[in-house]
Amino acid sequence: MAVVIASNLRKELAGTLLFDGVSFSVERRDRVALSGPNGAGKTTLLRILAGETEKHGGELAVEKGTRVALHDQRPPLDRELTLREYVLSGARDLVALETELAGLEQAMASGSHDQVTLNRYAAAQARLEHAGGYGWRDHATSVLRGLGFADENLDRPLRTFSGGELTRASLARALGGDPDLLLLDEPTNHLDVASLEWLERELQSLDTAVILVAHDRWFLEAVTTATLELAAGRATFFPGPWHVWRREKAARAVHAQKEVARAEADIARLERFVERFRHKKDKAKQAQAKLTHIGRLQRDRAAAADEVALLSRRTKTLGFEFLKPARSGRTVVEAEALDLRIGDRELLRGASFALERGEHVALVGPNGSGKTTLLDAIVNERGVRIGHGVQVGYFSQQEMELDTRGSVLQCVQSMTGLSRPDAQNLLGRFLFSGWETHEKPVAVLSGGERRRLALAVTVASGANFLVLDEPTNHLDLDSREALEAALDAFPGTVLLVSHDRALLDAIAERTLAIENGELHGYDGGWAEMLRRREERVARVAAPAPRPAQVAKPRAAQKKRSGELERVEAEVAAREAEVAEIERKLAADWSDVELLAAHKLARDALTSLLERWEALFEAQTERA
């Protein structure tokens, strides 16, 4: 049964159409990716579904009693609440349910056993059990842990947390209330990879309808079951995995392009006939009929061209093209036995590394592990050596490098030395178009606008060593893919920090990982690093030989051992298959067949591991 049904939704902003004709339905356990370029209306649609924004047309039907939770990028209003209080405030209906159950139990203890009372009690009990029973508070706390909060943070007031931490708190509040319809706007922002993977598992397990906006391709592939795309004021709903929608969308675009070409060829052929015979009396009627046919074909061609434009998403996306940099020395940056601290906290000890000219290297690690601090040390040459001829272009998370004293245009000119026309062209490529936008003060730009402006300055810097700290924040999927292509083609050196695993896999030839205060190096991108890390952990964790034990009955022991060995062999084979697919994906993320195979193999591996754990525990108990 559908949790929400939308029919021909329409929305205008300041008299301008944002979208029209948006129709879809979402059932429980559906997880819908809400896709589309920035400005297409994704956040607005989520707020319409949450009842926070009015629609200007169409119908919206929500199942009676549906509990809706919205997570977006707005910070909590009451900063005096503790983190625990704020998260639990998203489940006020569960608190009311406990009160109702207590009252009903008291009434029944006093002799009220009528059918109405019993039905109310059964319904309330079922609802509470769906939320985890009386342990739902523990589940809400476990959500906070999964999103990276430590237990000692639970009773801190919200005003003591950073903006990124408040965003994660908002996500925890939405997840912890056991909603029927969960609306998530950029839930992957400010999450490290461990929290991202936890969120993937959590969303896969929820008995909830989910509609989410995200630009992380691995996340979309792991979580979503359908796609609703908004583009050019129109919507397309596709039931099926995200990678299948991408393939279907490409096929539709090719078909529409063929329809345009076929219509144009037919129009040209008919126009030649009309031109040849329109003045001949015996052919005049035929010529007139051909003219009518041409009119129909022109309408068909226009419709097909509109379809091509929509499916190709011919909206403005970032036009990345880094300038060809000057050649640096062979060694770009190096450090030996580097220690990093913040106050009394040690972040990194004895770190030694070197980057050579032309290398593209990823730097990964959990939130708070010291990635940004290490980048800052490199940029400011604290404890590291920068090589000969190296020109550093630094793109930071805070955009502190922007000149905020004047307009957008003045900022670009002062920081790049470009002429006014060249600066205007650069801004146009980064979606800053028109005189009013160019003259807009830097100080009033939104977070996304500041990111785009900082990227524009970095692109125009001519640096041969790009140090990029989370460059994909606030970029839509098309813009991320444009950045990926530009970085891949960049002939200089790149050191990249990102939580976009697809970007890391596509760009990195080598990965530096901060692990427990130490810096470890791995050849390859994200998938290869995971494989090698797991191999290392397995070697370290290999159990010592067990002392001899009293023999068990031979037949039962042989049977159990044989099944365990069989499952172990299947696990090893499936792990090798997953690793091989991930190596291929690292080379070509766009291969949709590989994406599908990766999901199937990973799901099969998960099932095998669960079976292995059950067999191993059973054998251990009997031993």
Asked whether the predicted pLDDT for residue 532 surpasses 60, the reply is yes
Average pLDDT for the chain:
81
What is the pLDDT confidence band of residue 616, given thresholds at 50, 70 and 90?
A: low
What is the pLDDT confidence band of residue 552, given thresholds at 50, 70 and 90?
A: very low
* 17 and 152 housed in the same domain: yes
Instruction: For residue 441, tell me if it sits in a domain.
Output: yes
Asked whether the predicted pLDDT for residue 286 surpasses 70, the reply is no
Angle at 380 between CA 331 and CA 329, to 5 degrees: 15
Q: Domain containing 291: what range?
A: 246-311
State the pLDDT at residue 131.
65
State the pLDDT at residue 288.
64
Residue showing tokens 């589309």: 36
Q: Final residue of a domain: which of 222, 241, 260?
A: 241
Higher-confidence residue of 294 and 125: namely 125
* 559 and 436 housed in the same domain: no
Nearest to 322 by CA among 214, 446, 471: 471
Q: What is the 3-state secondary structure (H, E, C) of 411-448?
A: HHHHHHCCCHHHHHHHHHHCCCCCHHHHCCEHHHCCHH
Query: What percent of the chain clears pLDDT 70, i.e. is strictly above it?
Result: 79
Instruction: For residue 262, tell me if it sits in a domain.
Output: yes
Query: What percent of the chain clears pLDDT 90, i.e. is strictly above it?
Result: 28
Mean pLDDT of 400-408: 79
State the pLDDT at residue 479.
76
CB 361 within 8 A of CB 494: yes
State the pLDDT at residue 381.
92
Other CB atoms within a 10 A radius of the CB of residue 507 amount to 23
CA atoms within 13 A on the CB side of 547: 1
Instruction: For residue 177, tell me if it sits in a domain.
Output: yes
Asked whether the predicted pLDDT for residue 169 surpasses 70, the reply is yes
User: Left, alpha or beta for 8 (phi > 0: left; psi -120 to 50: alpha)?
Assistant: left
**What is the C-alpha to C-alpha distance for residues 204 and 225, in angstroms, rounded to an integer?**
10
Which two three-digit tokens encode residue 200?
């993937």
Which two three-digit tokens encode residue 244?
């299948």
Instruction: For residue 320, tell me if it sits in a domain.
Output: no
Mean pLDDT of 369-374: 90
Instruction: For residue 322, tell me if it sits in a domain.
Output: no
Q: How many domains does the chain have?
A: 4
State the pLDDT at residue 280.
65
* 374 and 425 housed in the same domain: yes
Mean pLDDT of 13-39: 89
Residue showing tokens 């947390």: 161
* 84 and 123 housed in the same domain: yes
Which two three-digit tokens encode residue 20?
């029209």
What is the pLDDT confidence band of residue 482, given thresholds at 50, 70 and 90?
A: confident
Mean pLDDT of 452-459: 84
State the pLDDT at residue 475.
77
* 419 and 402 housed in the same domain: yes
* 472 and 590 housed in the same domain: no
* 512 and 414 housed in the same domain: yes
What is the pLDDT confidence band of residue 549, given thresholds at 50, 70 and 90?
A: very low
CB 9 within 8 A of CB 58: yes
Instruction: For residue 350, tell me if it sits in a domain.
Output: yes
State the pLDDT at residue 200.
93
State the pLDDT at residue 314.
43
Q: What is the 3-state secondary structure (H, E, C) of 233-287?
A: CEEEEEECCHHHHHHHHHHHHHHHHHHHHHHHHHHHHHHHHHHHHCCCHHHHHHH
Task: Considering only CA atoms, give the Rg of the chain.
Answer: 29
**What is the C-alpha to C-alpha distance for residues 562 and 558, in angstroms, rounded to an integer?**
6
pLDDT tens digits, one per residue of 181-195: 999 999 988 888 888
* 292 and 398 housed in the same domain: no
Nearest to 372 by CA among 401, 340, 402, 345: 340
Q: Final residue of a domain: which of 241, 266, 286?
A: 241
Residue showing tokens 């901060």: 514
Which two three-digit tokens encode residue 598?
């990766």
**What is the C-alpha to C-alpha distance for residues 467 and 454, in angstroms, rounded to an integer?**
13
* 45 and 194 housed in the same domain: yes
* 607 and 469 housed in the same domain: no
Maximal C-alpha separation, the chain: 109
**What is the C-alpha to C-alpha distance for residues 50 and 41, in angstroms, rounded to an integer?**
14
- Helix or strand (DSSP H, E) at 508: none
CB 303 within 8 A of CB 245: no
* 287 and 384 housed in the same domain: no
**What is the C-alpha to C-alpha distance for residues 42 and 231, in angstroms, rounded to an integer?**
10
CB 177 within 8 A of CB 157: no
Question: Reading across the β-sheet that carries 31-35, which strands appear in turn?
Answer: 68-71, 181-185, 209-213, 31-35, 226-231, 234-239
Highest mean pLDDT among 279-283, 287-291, 552-556, 574-578: 574-578
CA atoms within 13 A on the CB side of 94: 23
- What's the first-to-final CA gap in the chain, in angstroms? 49
* 13 and 127 housed in the same domain: yes
What is the pLDDT confidence band of residue 245, given thresholds at 50, 70 and 90?
A: confident
CB 77 within 8 A of CB 163: no
pLDDT tens digits, one per residue of 46-75: 999 999 999 999 999 998 888 899 998 787
What is the pLDDT confidence band of residue 583, given thresholds at 50, 70 and 90?
A: low
Cβ within 8 Å of residue 294, ≥6 positions away: 267, 270, 271, 274
Cβ within 8 Å of residue 89, ≥6 positions away: 81, 173
Instruction: For residue 209, tell me if it sits in a domain.
Output: yes
Residue showing tokens 């509109």: 306
CB 144 within 8 A of CB 83: yes
Domain CATH code at residue 30: 3.40.50.300
Phi, psi (deg, nearest 5) at residue 263: -65, -40
Highest mean pLDDT among 322-336, 450-464, 466-480, 554-568: 322-336
State the pLDDT at residue 212.
95
pLDDT tens digits, one per residue of 304-360: 566 656 555 544 566 767 778 899 999 999 999 999 988 888 899 999 999 999 999
Q: Final residue of a domain: which of 241, 263, 284?
A: 241
CA atoms within 13 A on the CB side of 235: 23
**What is the C-alpha to C-alpha distance for residues 370 and 611, in angstroms, rounded to an integer?**
38
Instruction: For residue 467, tell me if it sits in a domain.
Output: yes
Beta strands in 189-343 (DSSP E): 209-213, 226-231, 234-239, 331-342
Highest mean pLDDT among 116-125, 131-140, 396-405: 116-125
